[in-house]
Amino acid sequence: MKTFSKLFFFLAIFSCVSLKAQSERNILITYHSESGKTQAMAEAVAKGVAEVKGADFVLKPIAEVSEHEILQASAIILGSPVYNANMTPEVQAFINSWPFEGRPLKNKIGAVFVTGGGFSIGEEATMFAMIRSMMIHGMIIVGGEELEAAFGASAITGEGEFAEKEVQEIFLKKAEGLGKRVGEMVLKFY
């Protein structure tokens, strides 16, 4: 019986250590998308995270994210379409649902990405609003790999040469770079 108890104890400890190690490098990539374009950016972000050995991620729409997943994540990468130079009401409601008591998101890494229909339609304003919300929670903000993605990743999806059915590669690469950079930062901090 003592051997069984010791074995159970060591298995329990090992499981806790393994779960802790997994959660310490877990990146939550979440988004709201109606046309599929923000989802395409989210998938590109995930592709970038996947390039970083040792970084794990969960990719899902905000409607499917639990509070437990928010709390377990080392980093949250949040995506939204641009609506009237703002994040969508769904993304704002998601942020408003984050637990605040005791600041459990403090020192988690935060990053953002957006899709907007045209030039100067509010991509950066939307990114800053999302970033400010993360900062209120005490999160550490990380931008993309490139100078042109300093605040995160954005895509123009409905004007001029960018008015195509698919998100163009130049924007998907910025999203990949954002994911890769967040993955690298998670490994450095956790």
pLDDT reading at 18 higher than 60: no
Q: What is the pLDDT of residue 3?
A: 52
CATH topology of domain 25-189: Rossmann fold (3.40.50)
Residue range 111-118: average pLDDT? 96
Closest CA to 143 of 171, 114, 178: 178
Q: What is the pLDDT of residue 7?
A: 42
Residue range 24-40: average pLDDT? 96
pLDDT reading at 162 higher than 90: no
Q: What is the pLDDT of residue 165?
A: 76
| Average predicted confidence (pLDDT) for the chain | 90
Q: Report the C-alpha gap between 15 and 27 in whole angstroms.
A: 20
Q: What is the pLDDT of residue 159?
A: 86
For the chain, give every domain's residue range. 25-189
Q: What is the pTM of this model?
A: 0.87
Q: What is the pLDDT of residue 58?
A: 98
Q: What is the pLDDT of residue 174?
A: 98
Do residues 30 and 75 lie in contact, with contact meaning Cβ atoms separated by under 8 Å? no
pLDDT reading at 10 higher than 80: no
pLDDT reading at 6 higher than 80: no
Q: What is the pLDDT of residue 24?
A: 74
Q: Which residue has the higher pLDDT, 14 or 176?
A: 176
What are the pLDDT digits (tens) for 45-95? 999 999 999 999 999 999 999 999 999 999 999 999 999 999 999 999 999
Residue range 21-26: average pLDDT? 66
Q: In which band, very low, low, confident or very high, does the pLDDT at 164 lie, cut at 50, 70 and 90?
A: confident
Q: What is the pLDDT of residue 2?
A: 57
Q: What is the pLDDT of residue 27?
A: 99
